[in-house]
Every structure is written in C-alpha cells, then in structure tokens.
Structure 1
C-alpha cells in the first residue's frame, strides 16, 4: 500500500511539473480579444545616467516569446550577444558588460508584432523608451504616419547620412528603428544631431535590411536634418508599395489541339500590350515558321495565356515558340525566349462561347453618360467579326450607334455613342454566327442581354480645393474605403486648385491628393535603391460617407502641410 501511495504521489508531482513547464492558453469561455500591454519597464522612459547591463519589460499577460524577440528594437545597436530571460510575464534582456557607449541615448522600441499566447492578439500601440548613459537625453524627434492596407510588421528605418558612405539599405542596417502602431502612426525619438534618410520597411525576413521584391517599402519627400535649433519634425508620410524588377517569362507550353497553345507564365502580363508579333511558332526540323493569329486570356487563370494559329502542324515536327517583349504590370519587359512544346493531333471542334457581358454597375445597369459594355469570349475572334456580331437597341427596337474596340482577341469594349436616357431599358444582341474561331467553328444563334440605365439621382460627388504652392499639377483621388468591397477609383486633375468629382457611386471613400512632379498622371512611390524620393501626398483625415443625391463640398486638401 505504501508503494502504491508513493507511486501516485510521484505521478501527481510529475503532472504538476509538466503543467507548469508547458504554458498553454485556457480552454473554453469567451474568445480573448484583449491585446497585450506593456505594464512596466526598467529603465524608465527618460532615465539618465543608466549603468546597468540589462533591460526589463513586464507584460500584462503571457506573450509569444518569439514574437517579442522579433519586435524589440534597440537603437543604436548594442554590440555583442543579447540574452533573453523570461520569468512569467516579465522579460529581462541582458547584454555584455560595458557594451553600452558612454554619453549615448538609447531607444528601446516594443513593436506591434508582439502577440499574446492565448489568442494571438497583437500589441495595439508601439511602446518607445528612451534612456541615456550620460546626463541628458538627445531630443531629436520625428513623427508621422504610414498609409497601407496592412501595416502589421511595418518599421521606420532611419539612416545617418555620411558623405563618405554610400546609402544602400540592401547592405546597411539602420541607425534607428521604430515600429508603426496599429493606426500607422510612428515616432522616432532620442535622435542625435545628424542628417537622416528614412524608409518605411515591412521586413519579412526580420534581418533589418531591405530585400528587393520581398519587402514592402515607402520613401519620403525629403531627408531630415536634426540640429540643436531644429530638432522636431512632424507629419512625415509614407505610402507602401513593393518593387517588381523581375521580367516575365514563359514557364510551360501545352498544345491543347491543332490550333491552340496554352501558355503558363511566371507572372501576369498586360494583354493590352501584347501583339501577335511577340510570338513565332517554329518547326526546327524544316525551318518553317508562322505568326499566331490571336492572343488572349479567355477563361484562363492569372498568369496564363492562349494563342490561336491557323496553319496546322505536322506530327513529325520539332516545335518551339519564340517569344519576346512581354510586358508585366510593372513595365518589366521579357527577353527573347525559346520554349519547346509537344504536338497534339486533337481537332478543334468547339464553337466560341460568351463568358460574360460586363456592365458598369451592379444589377445589369449602365450609365447613360459614356455608357460601356465589355464582351468576354473563351476564344479569339477578329475585331471585324465582333463589329458585325454586336447590335444595341432601345426599347422600341431602334438600332443605336456603337464603337467596338479590342482589349485582346477575346475581350472587347462596346461604347454606345448614341444618346441614352436615364432609367430606360436597352438590349445588346450578339449574333454568334459571326463569332468564328480560327478553325472556322461557329454557332448559329443570337444572344440578347437586357440592361438598364442608372438614375442620375443615384450618384454622389465630391468637390473642393487643393492648397498647393508648387509648380506641378496636382490630382485628387477617391478610392473605396472598405477593404473587401469592389474598388471604385476616381481621379481628377485639380484645375487652378479646384476639383469637382461627379457621378460617384455611393459608398464610403478615402480621399487623397498628390503632387505630380514627374508629370505622368499617376502617384510615384519613389525607390529604396537606387534611392529616389516619393511624390508629395496628403490624405483627407475622415472617411467620406457619400450618399445618393448628397455630394460633399468645400473639402480642403493641403499639400503644403
């Protein structure tokens, strides 16, 4: 009996030890939505004459240790190894003795990457602590905001600019780091007098270097110089983007039938900038080549293309597709490539199908001002045959004038040039007898699509002025605020500082303006390396709730701020 009691006691002790050693979130109950907080720090913010070899941070709850390690930044960098020692919710960071520089201000930043152990809630606001090993705290301060849909993990990197050292964020780590808060705001404090270049970096590799095409980045409109008499700079702004310098390429080709090639690309390309001259089909056994007749997307997925060609191939041939000058959406242009494919004897017996007729608004509605429909097919058809196939009628069956233009060989815009009336029904007819594919397949049918013009009173609008003392054009942009909603974007050049954006679909919008310093009519983000400043911009502080028949007026966007 004594042996059994002793055995039970050992089991209980081992169980309790295991429970203490394995930190687990509680089960059951309400879902934890409360973010962790920093309760206490040592040193205190603003403390001087600090001479310890450790820093202490206390959290309000158990936090994920790895997330904490990746979210703590100490600027300037403390030389040597750092030892992270945990006791419950308290963290002590030890560093090597005498590794702190004398008479130096250090900044400890606890970023929003910190998440609790229970439900992965992130720290809501970045915590910054300044302390000095000397008798004073350096008082340089830079504040601002980063604008992006996803800000989590975004940091502000500040680099001292020294004439003898080339600025290169690909190789050089920043002198100061701060992480942005949930709302995008940031502060860099305790900065020593110097000239700084700032970048906003979403550092995916956590290596404190800018990694091209992996890290989102943002640049400013100017460098900042901290001096004794000018030590505070506010309202610095960043917009995040990601760099794309990789040229598109053809990864794989499948011959789907005697007249079609299916191309898989490394990334999407702009089909409006594709021409049949970009491709040549070559039989290396005979030297015979041909240019395709149609290039299009059809029902292929992103990064895929279809090519249709007239002359059938021979099963004994050795076939290659020569391609060049494919342009992606970042304007990268492909080099000349030669890609092999295997012959397929399957005959093309499928007639052309209409995939969709896109309208300008939901519920099959179009505008009565500049009305447009877009016809999408699953196979290539000549523009001439599309023009023959489409007709547009009013409710009395009067035929109206349209202009058809090609986006690619299976996608066409139909612009109605006749004057339409609001709240009236119209119809588009597509005669498939003219939808003839490269193999001559067609279907003898007429398809009718009913549409209705929108009510003029269903629109909203925005008007106001842009304060700007520079010499360049300025533009105002409206974009849908809801992240999951269909993005409606309106852009207008401010004429003599004034703008009036009309016929806006009701909804919630963000409004912003930018200085078009390079005269290309689009916002330029600048570049991290080689470095280039971004264009100046300003966001309106409030989300606009644009309601039908209630346009917003007297808006002021101050680019001089």
Structure 2
C-alpha cells in the first residue's frame, strides 16, 4: 500500500491518541497556577521613612499590588493620638492617610498598621507594618514595651489601649489625652515606639467609649507603680576577625530600657449605690437588689401597719440581693404594701448618710377557676366536690436512684422558711434491711444556703439506702406542713474516684487553692484555704479534666480582690498549674507546687493528652496524603508502562 493510501489511518490514529490521553488526565477547570500566599510589598513612601520637618497633610504608601483598606481605619494606631480620625483612601496601589487636623510641632509620629494591610486577591496580611516621621528636626526613637493580662484569670487582653502620660498628675488619665498610645495584640503584647526623652506614667484601659480617657468603675485599668523614664544605650562589640587590619570593625546593638512591663488589669470597686430591683414576686415574697452591699444598714418597715416581726430576711453572701418573706399573713393579704426602705448612701463629699425611699410592694393574685366553675355550678355541685385538700409543700433534694457520691450529704431545701422540724420523723436505713433499723445520721442547717438542711452519714460504697420523711415532719412560717418523702438511692463504687494531691511549698500567707472546671468559664468546683506549707488534697473526684488555681488572699477575706488606682495598690496575685490535670478512676495525681509569689507568671495551661491526640492526627493526615500521592504517581506510571494499558505503539493501525 502506498504512503498516501495509509495517510487516513495515521490521521485516525493521531486523533485517537489525543482523545485517550486527554480522557486519562484529571478533569476540571484550569487552576491558574499556585495560590498567591505572598503579602503586599511596600515599594515607596511619601514622605520617606523617618523623614524630618514634615509639614504635609497626608502620608502615601505605595505597594506592589492592590490592597483592601477596609480594616485600616479600625486597626490603625497613630501616636501621638489625633483628636479627629484621619481619612483612609486608596488610589491605584497607593494607600493615602490624610490627616484632618494640624499635627503637633517637633513631634515624631508613629503609624502602626498591625495586620490591617491585605492584598486584593487572597487577603494576605502584611504583618508588623510601622511607619514614622517627624514634624521637627529630631526623630525620636525611644520605646516602651510590655504585656497586659486580665488580673483575675491571667488571660491576655487584646485591643487594650496602652497610654503614656507626660503630665504626672493623678487626674491626667481621667481628663487629658495621652502623649503616646499603642494597642495590644492577641497575646496582650504592646510596643509604644518613637517616644521623646522624659518622664511618664504608664496606663492601660479597655476604653469602651473610645475617648482615650479612663472612666473609673466602668472600664478596666492597669497601671505601672513606677515612673517611666525611657532610655537607649548602644553596646559596642568589636569584630575580632578584623584585628589584623588597619581599622577594627565596630558593631553592636542598642539596649532599650526600662525592661518590658507586665501589667494586670482590673475593674475598680467604685462605690455607687442605687436600687436595681424592688418587686413583690408572690403574696409572701419580695426581692430587693442593690448595686452595693447594704450590710449593717438595710432597714424596712410597713407605713400603714403597726406590726413586729413581720418579715424574715434572706440576704445573699455579698448582702446586695435580699429576699424578704412577709411572715404576717394579715399584711400579706393586701394587694399593695407601702414600705419605707433605708440604706447607706454617699453624699457629694463622699460621706455616708442614711437614705430612705418609699416603695410600694404590689401583687395581685389571679383568681383561677376550674373548668367546672367556668361552665357554671350550683350548691349541689359544691357539696358533691367535698372539702378542699390541705395544702402541703414538697422538699427539693439532691437524691437520685443511683450514683450518689460518697462525699456528699443529702441536701433538703424547703420552698419557704420553716418554723419547726421534727427530726424524729426522719428515718435513714439500709434498703435491704427488712427490719428498717434506723441509722444514726447528723442533721444540720446549711450555713451557706437559706432554707437548706443536710443529712450527713459515713456512706459505704456500692450500698443502697432509703430515706423516709413522714408527712407533716416540718411546718413553715405560714402553717403549711411538708409532704411525705421516701427515696431510695445507691452510692458509687469507691474505685470510681481519683484524687489530686498538692504538696505546697513557700506559702507566703493566706491562699485560696481552687479546683476549676476545664472550661473557659473556670467555675470553681472546690476551694481550700490555707496559710502554711503542706499537702492539700482534692479527693472523691470524678474521672475528668480539671484546672488548679491559687489566689494570694492578701487581706484574708476569702475572695479575690481587684486593685485600686485611687489608693495605688495592685490586684491580688493569682497563679495556675500550667497543665490540664486528667483524673482517672482509682488513681492519684501528685504535684509539688512552689507558691512563691511571681507577678510575671505567664498562664500557659497545656492539655498534654489533647496535644498528643492532635500530633497523632497530624501524622496520620500526613501519612494519608503521602500514600495518596504515591498511589497517584503509580497509577500514572502504570498507565503507560508495559502491559499497563496505554502505550503509543498500541495506537498504531494494523495492516500489512
């Protein structure tokens, strides 16, 4: 066959080859190349970086690509601060910062963009961009750095405003704009740069209203105890490799002082008394809530009735929320009870005086009718219904049928204050005891919770008990008796629990050692107070993860206290064990803990179990990706390999 005759076969073969190879490739749209992961690059500025004698009205920064200015107006920090916000504009690839006020003479301005400059394509962030210039013939270069954390839980304070005041009067932070400012990053770190020589006070506030001033009681504050005197010293270091030359190369570094500050913020306890709530919730119960404590000052009396012992008071621990039970049933029958309330208040000279307010306690009881009543009923119907049942109240308990904790007491709570209790009508016995032999338990009133009582017993593990309380064993102040109660329950196995043993060293005084939930809220599960070295044990712990915290209780009042800028003292110190503690059943976790106070302690609680799990998951993901890549390469090699399916020779037309 001639070559011309074979030409159609070659053409068909060529098209078949192209079709088969194309079908073997990955389908999809072209990717357009690798993803852009490079942030914008600053190409030029107007004026130049660290320019002197600047007298313009705007600053221009030109990048190598288009940027998005959306976040700049929010995150840009200009120091010294401006009275008016600058205008943020873009023109092509140039960012324009236009000042809307006249700049100060002989001042070095610093523009901190944080991570607000992002490109238009993939929003890659340009981190750490700072620009500075001077309106005088000196470019100031001193700096102050540090870290701001929450004084109570040691978490970093992001977006906290840090301020330097050259006016050293105590009132400056309330009334004047600061001389220099900065904002903290997500780790709580800050840097105030381009500071002129001088003496300063250092503050940090969370500036809720953006007025660059401290609003006491409403905003958090942190302050340095010492006067700040920024300085810089060049430390020369000779290059010994050039000693044989005519001149020696001198290098070195600049050491800035003072050292970084570690500051703890807090909200001051500013006395501001007022009534938040005063209402009558039921016929017999009223609630009063104050902004400050009213301990030793609260008084209340009805205006239109002469009666004694007409109420029972139940305050909370802080004595700023009070429940008033109206014990006089004749008085409680009134829909409206006008009362005079008294409590301490501060006058303009900050002297206490007794404030009196008149409040009307209003409650109207709804008349509820039965369905039969709504249809209408006659005298014969009422006789058929019989007498009204005698009202009784129910106990609230912490009992359940199983898993009663070995270290728990039985807790009984009444809905209203009690007038009398007959403990002989309460019986506790082993459930399997058919004779119901009473067990000797300890019955006490709970000192921390109102209307609450405790039954304590040395429980045996994995044992079933029954509690029986006879009807009318208790009577409340309104003459209503309790209903009968019978509840069976079983205790847990002893080997279910674990414990945490802490060997405390260098205890400086009163400390509160707290066992916390492993959650952001860090709710207190248990607390132990001590003032000496020794062992602290948290026992009977359910298998779970926990945190441990210590409060250095400086004034010994049993709680954490914030600081005071007015009185110039810092908040009470706290510290943590920097590890999530995993408690297992029938297991004891031991730890030696040095409680030497450390104001620079960094909270960095690590969950080692979670870290190990994440490490294994990352390794497994990497292994799968590697195997997937290997398999894809093998498939591609086999596709064109011997006997593997497709080869150029297999596409040649057959024929002689």
Q: TM-score with structure 1 length normalisation?
A: 0.69
Out of 411, 418, 436, which is 1:374 matched to? 411
Task: Give the C-alpha shift of residue 142 in structure 1.
Answer: 2.3
Out of 520, 524, 539, which is 2:557 matched to? 520
Q: Match for residue 138 of structure 1?
A: 141
Task: Give the C-alpha shift of residue 526 in structure 1.
Answer: 0.1
Q: Match for residue 394 of structure 2?
A: 353
Out of 445, 457, 460, which is 1:421 matched to? 460
Out of 148, 157, 160, which is 2:162 matched to? 157
Asked if the contact 2:511–2:553 (Cα under 8 Å) also holds between the matched residues in 1, the reply is yes
Within-5 A mapping of 1:41-56: 47-49=49-51, 51=54, 53-55=57-59
Query: In the aligned structure 1, how far is the partner of 2:479 from the partner of 2:422?
Result: 15
Query: In the aligned structure 1, how far is the partner of 2:231 from the partner of 2:391?
Result: 74
Asked if the contact 1:39–1:60 (Cα under 8 Å) also holds between the matched residues in 2, the reply is no
Out of 337, 340, 348, which is 1:319 matched to? 337
Secondary structure (helix, strand or coil) at the match of 1:288 reads: coil
Query: In the aligned structure 2, how far is the partner of 1:318 from the partner of 1:438?
Result: 21
Asked if the contact 2:394–2:483 (Cα under 8 Å) also holds between the matched residues in 1, the reply is no
Query: In the aligned structure 2, how far is the partner of 1:391 from the partner of 1:194?
Result: 78
Secondary structure (helix, strand or coil) at the match of 1:313 reads: helix
Q: Answer with 508-517 or 345-354: which moved more.
A: 345-354
Q: Residues 539, 72 of structure 1: CA spacing in aligned structure 2 closer, same or farther, 3 A cutoff?
A: farther
Task: Give the C-alpha shift of residue 38 in structure 1.
Answer: 8.6
Runs (5+) with no aligned partner, structure 1: 1-35
Q: Match for residue 89 of structure 2?
A: 85
Query: In the aligned structure 2, how far is the partner of 1:310 from the partner of 1:175?
Result: 64
Query: In the aligned structure 2, how far is the partner of 1:303 from the partner of 1:60?
Result: 58
Query: In the aligned structure 1, how far is the partner of 2:43 from the partner of 2:264?
Result: 30
Task: Give the C-alpha shift of residue 155 in structure 1.
Answer: 0.8
Is 1:207 matched up with 2:211? yes
Q: Match for residue 8 of structure 2?
A: none
Q: Residues 474, 55 of structure 1: CA spacing in aligned structure 2 closer, same or farther, 3 A cutoff?
A: farther
Secondary structure (helix, strand or coil) at the match of 1:366 reads: coil
Query: In the aligned structure 2, how far is the partner of 1:170 from the partner of 1:211?
Result: 7
Greater radius of gyration (CA) = 2
Q: Residues 264, 443 of structure 1: CA spacing in aligned structure 2 closer, same or farther, 3 A cutoff?
A: same
Q: Match for residue 589 of structure 2?
A: 551
Q: Match for residue 234 of structure 1?
A: 260
Within-5 A mapping of 1:94-133: 94-95=98-99, 99-102=103-106, 104-110=107-113, 127=128, 129=130, 131-133=132-134
Query: In the aligned structure 2, how far is the partner of 1:381 from the partner of 1:175?
Result: 63
Runs (5+) with no aligned partner, structure 2: 1-37, 234-255, 346-351, 369-389, 601-656
Query: In the aligned structure 2, how far is the partner of 1:556 from the partner of 1:456?
Result: 30
Q: Residues 456, 72 of structure 1: CA spacing in aligned structure 2 closer, same or farther, 3 A cutoff?
A: farther
Cα distance per residue 1:372-409 (max 9 Å; x no partner): 34333322223x42856655545555423224224588
Is 1:75 matched up with 2:114? no
Out of 282, 287, 291, which is 1:263 matched to? 287
Out of 452, 458, 466, which is 1:412 matched to? 452
Segments of 4+ in structure 1 off by > 6 A? Answer: 36-39, 41-44, 57-61, 123-126, 149-152, 314-318, 345-349
Q: Residues 182, 309 of structure 1: CA spacing in aligned structure 2 closer, same or farther, 3 A cutoff?
A: same
Q: TM-score with structure 2 length normalisation?
A: 0.60
Aligned residues: 494
Query: In the aligned structure 2, how far is the partner of 1:244 from the partner of 1:558?
Result: 31
Task: Give the C-alpha shift of residue 551 in structure 1.
Answer: 0.9
Q: Match for residue 22 of structure 1?
A: none
Q: Residues 447, 199 of structure 1: CA spacing in aligned structure 2 closer, same or farther, 3 A cutoff?
A: farther
Q: Residues 124, 363 of structure 1: CA spacing in aligned structure 2 closer, same or farther, 3 A cutoff?
A: farther
Query: In the aligned structure 2, how far is the partner of 1:313 from the partner of 1:194?
Result: 70
Query: In the aligned structure 1, how far is the partner of 2:513 from the partner of 2:50?
Result: 48
User: 1 or 2, which has the higher strand percentage?
Assistant: 1
Out of 385, 392, 400, which is 2:440 matched to? 400
Query: In the aligned structure 1, how far is the partner of 2:517 from the partner of 2:126?
Result: 26
Cα distance per residue 1:157-216 (max 9 Å; x no partner): 3343645x2335333343333333223343444444455444442222222222334323
Out of 235, 249, 260, which is 2:275 matched to? 249
Q: Match for residue 291 of structure 1?
A: 309
Asked if the contact 1:315–1:343 (Cα under 8 Å) also holds between the matched residues in 2, the reply is no
Structural RMSD (CA): 5.1
Asked if the contact 1:266–1:303 (Cα under 8 Å) also holds between the matched residues in 2, the reply is yes
Q: Match for residue 538 of structure 2?
A: 502
